[in-house]
Structure 1
Amino acid sequence: MLWQTTLQAVTLRRTNMKYTTTLESIRQHRAPDWYHDCKLGIFITWGLFSVPGWAASREEPPRLILERGFDAYFRENPYAEWYLNTLKFEDGPTRAYHDRIFGAGLAYEDFQPIFEAESRKWNPAEWSDLFRKAGAGYVVLTAKHADGYLLWPSTVGNLKRPGYFSKRDLVGELAAAVRAQNIRMGIYYSGGMDWSLNPERIDAFHKIYSTIVQAPEHVAYANAHWRELIDRYRPSVMWGDIMYPAAANIPELFAYYYNSVPDGAINDRFGTEFSIPLRPGMNPPGVHYDFLTPEYSSFDDIQEEKWEACRGIGASFGYNRDDDETSYMSAAAVIRMFVDIVSKNGNLLLNVGPRADGSIHRLQQDCLLGLGAWLEINGEAIRGTRPWVRAATTTADGIGVRFTQKRDTLYAILLDRPKVPEVRISNVTAVPGSPVRLLGVEGNLEWSQNGGALAVRFPSNLPEQAAYAVRLTPITTRQTSARSST
């Protein structure tokens, strides 16, 4: 019987618990190999905000903040998923847009029946097929964003707004669809910020943290949601956002997750104490994490800690109907960014923002498909790799090069089309007589060692690509990094 099978599974988990409810215990957990290996995830930001699908700015957040400050950032937020907060600026552009399109009498929560009617058109198999073609190893869906609306039919009702959840199990259906494509399912949940429980307008940097809901009943509410998500969907990634209530027992929650999903991974946004981030795009560190999550940001060099760059194809995570060719990244730009991230021990969590009916903008699809087509040829230089002894160098004619490696193989990835037939890659020494190959091209390349540079002759019929991966086997012993474990 089903209930007996479930009971046996729960009993088995309890008798084989590896992690206890202490920081010392959960800090033994590390990012799993699958997470290191797959490199690419797809973020999906979808919810009631997808109905209006609009943001005042199309400037990426770091640039907008740098040029105009936090006042402009909150008032003209480029994140369409923050529509409810920007709507609270009575004289702001979002309020003007809302009143003109929907009328002043329509409240944000009135988008719920519209979203639920539209989302009935959604076909999760179309998403999973697109993400497979993009080469993704995992997806992360916003099960609850800061507006408090749930994308699954929870048994834990909203503390102030009954029925504030999708009647269709969007989380569960996506999980089934992506797993059918051998893609892992991850879940995003806004744990500290919930505007359905605390409607105070965020119009200053410190309010991101001062508005976090700290009431005891919210601690129980957020914990109950996470336990339900873990029990029901077994997410491979537990992706929290904007801190967590200070009174929560984080080690207990994480131990529950790790004992349920031993090869799961947790991000760094479960902090409970406010602190100023050390760099733009970073978050106050959580009490424990498997990976860092710079947002619309990156690192300059290889990081010892595993990390994941998260960003949209445009300046927003949620769908912004004003995005077009001028604001969406091209596949070529994403590929070059992706290679740079991987060379520095990072993953890329690239976001798509669907419309309310689940359809994805053609330009977002084109970007994903272009990335996937490149990975079909060059994925060997990305998946399963680790950083080398250095992340980057340049060719003699100024083209950027990024390095990745496997146990006995080095990949030098050129971030542009070579301008000359013979490409000189500085700071690389090949083993005499070893083959040098260009991925996607038959046969070995002619090469010679020119001091500290490797001179490689590229074919004249070079295919048009955003980046070119050169494979060297084997790597000289003195150039093999201790990071190589694949």
Structure 2
Amino acid sequence: MINTSTMVAPWWQQAQLGIFVHWTPASVPGWAPPYDPAGRAHLGWTSYGEWYENSLRFPGSPVSAHHRETYGSRPYTEFGGDFADALSGWDPAEWARRFRAAGARYAVLVTKHHDGYCLWPSEVRNPHRPGWHTPRDVVGEFAEAVRAEGLRFGVYYSGGLDWTFQPRPIATAADTVAAVPRGAYPAYADAQLRELIRRYHPDILWNDIAWPAGRAAIRNLVEYYRFTVPHGVVNDRLYPYTPLWRALRLPGLRAAYNSWERRTVVSDEGFVPKKPPYYDFRTPEYSHYTGPDPFEITRGVDHSFGYNRNSGDDSFIGRDALAALLGTVRSDGGNLLLNVGPRGEDATIPPEQQRRLDWLGEAAGVGSAP
């Protein structure tokens, strides 16, 4: 069932530009250290703002120091309440207009990131953090808004990590794989993703990290999705769970895996995922792709996906670089999935991020949103 370009939906092949939206409780503090190429191997020091809760688990990390100075001993879970309160000012129609004005043909919303917080009132109960979701149906409203502007709609779901089920601190690639939850989590993740498919019929199914069950379970899930959404497409991060992943907690195997990962997966600032059994398109992250498969370059407008108020002017992609990136991706026959990270405290897209969307719209001759 490994895909070829002839099997991918024509609408996706012709889309060229999509908008990714990372918007989680971590968007409330919205803080991460600047990107440091020399220190990127330790995920407690990552510039990805959406990893805030994991970074807090390392007492010596920059995020921990910032949190102590700004919030004292306030637990991360309280940001969920702040996030939900700010939704009263959220206007999904305005976002959709801005994405359409940028020339995008689709938009992918993070429905649940690694912190386990759901942007829809899921009927699948989280046994560790009851009520850890928005009371407002953000996913449904977002889907309706972008579709009203003529865009396709996709859901991102963190199948491989959920820190409400497995709070082990993650420092390296081996830690990431070893932290894929087991126990009740595989059934929980399967039920939630099927709920998203059943409720919202997403045009794109965008899983992240891995999947907590084996190949047969993934096949059944993908078949259910294809039956429900025949024109839909699936990304390349549904890696089947294997018991060997738990062995990566052993120091020797951990070091060997991290070394292999750096040699074979890490590329440029980001990485190119390994091929899973079932997929339609590849998703290089902050990287390039030269393979034969349909592909989608994914990256933020700065060095983070979630909002990072600590990003300086030099952290953001420039106008010429953005135009060159989109031009290269188009000429190579792929898509660009450019991310925005809205603020958690007021549900708005920061000006420096919106400016990049405006540049894309001007280059495409679409014009700015009203």
Q: TM-score surpassing 0.5?
A: yes
The answer to whether 1:70 aligns with 2:41 is yes
Partner SS for 1:257: helix
CA contact (8 A) 2:40 2:46 kept: no
Name the counterpart of 2:62.
93
Opposite residue 135 of structure 2, the aligned amino acid is: K
CA contact (8 A) 1:38 1:136 kept: yes
Q: Give the 5 Å matches for 1:410-425.
A: none
CA contact (8 A) 1:75 1:92 kept: yes
Name the counterpart of 1:40.
17
Q: Residue 362 of structure 1: CA displacement? A: 0.7
Opposite residue 41 of structure 2, the aligned amino acid is: F
Q: Residue 250 of structure 1: CA displacement? A: 0.7
Q: Residue 29 of structure 1: CA displacement? A: 8.5
CA contact (8 A) 1:89 1:95 kept: yes
Name the counterpart of 1:293.
283
Name the counterpart of 2:165.
197
Computed over aligned residues only, the root mean square deviation of the Cα atoms, in angstroms, reads 1.9
CA distance in 1, matches of 2:212, 2:81: 30
CA contact (8 A) 1:80 1:316 kept: yes
User: Paired residues, what number?
Assistant: 343
The answer to whether 1:344 aligns with 2:332 is yes
CA contact (8 A) 2:32 2:48 kept: yes
Distance 1:88 1:336, change over 3 A: same
Find 2:35's aligned residue among 58, 63, 71: 58
Name the counterpart of 2:354.
365
Name the counterpart of 2:251.
none
Q: Give the 5 Å matches for 1:147-158.
A: 147-158=115-126
The answer to which of 240-249 and 122-131 deviates more is 240-249
Opposite residue 177 of structure 2, the aligned amino acid is: Y
Name the counterpart of 2:252.
none
- Structure 1 unaligned regions, length at least 5: 1-22, 378-486
CA distance in 1, matches of 2:160, 2:129: 17
CA contact (8 A) 1:310 1:349 kept: yes
Q: Give the 5 Å matches for 1:8-407.
A: 30-59=7-36, 64=37, 67-68=38-39, 70-71=41-42, 74-104=43-73, 106-215=74-183, 217-247=184-214, 249-273=217-241, 278-280=264-266, 281-299=271-289, 301=290, 303-356=291-344, 357-376=346-365
Q: String of CA shifts for 1:250-288, please: whole Å, max 9, x gaps.
A: 111001101111110100000015685533202232221
Q: Residue 231 of structure 1: CA displacement? A: 0.8
Q: String of CA shifts for 1:91-136, please: whole Å, max 9, x gaps.
A: 22111100111112x1111111111111221100110010010000
Partner SS for 1:186: strand
CA contact (8 A) 2:49 2:306 kept: yes
Q: Residue 184 of structure 1: CA displacement? A: 0.6
Partner SS for 2:335: strand
Partner SS for 1:108: coil
CA distance in 1, matches of 2:343, 2:143: 19
Q: Residue 331 of structure 1: CA displacement? A: 3.0
CA distance in 2, matches of 1:170, 1:183: 17
Q: TM-score, normalised by structure 2?
A: 0.89
Q: Residue 75 of structure 1: CA displacement? A: 2.7
Partner SS for 1:53: coil
Q: Work out which structure has the larger RCO, using CA pairs closer than 8 Å and 6 or more positions apart in sequence.
A: 2
Opposite residue 224 of structure 1, the aligned amino acid is: A
Q: String of CA shifts for 1:310-365, please: whole Å, max 9, x gaps.
A: 00000000000122422111233211101111222221000000001220111111
CA distance in 1, matches of 2:206, 2:7: 15
CA distance in 2, matches of 1:307, 1:99: 41
- State the structure with more CA Rg: 1
Q: String of CA shifts for 1:27-66, please: whole Å, max 9, x gaps.
A: 998220000001100000001000100001234xxxx2xx
CA contact (8 A) 1:267 1:290 kept: yes
Opposite residue 264 of structure 1, the aligned amino acid is: G
CA distance in 1, matches of 2:348, 2:35: 21
Larger helix share, 1 or 2 = 2
The answer to which of 330-339 and 88-97 deviates more is 330-339
The answer to which of 278-287 and 262-271 deviates more is 278-287
CA distance in 2, matches of 1:263, 1:324: 41
Name the counterpart of 2:253.
none
CA distance in 1, matches of 2:201, 2:81: 28
CA contact (8 A) 2:113 2:158 kept: yes
CA contact (8 A) 1:319 1:353 kept: yes
CA distance in 2, matches of 1:340, 1:366: 21
CA distance in 2, matches of 1:115, 1:28: 40
CA distance in 2, matches of 1:330, 1:358: 24
CA distance in 1, matches of 2:211, 2:114: 12
Larger strand share, 1 or 2 = 1
CA contact (8 A) 1:58 1:314 kept: no
Q: TM-score, normalised by structure 1?
A: 0.68
- Aligned-pair identity in percent equals 40
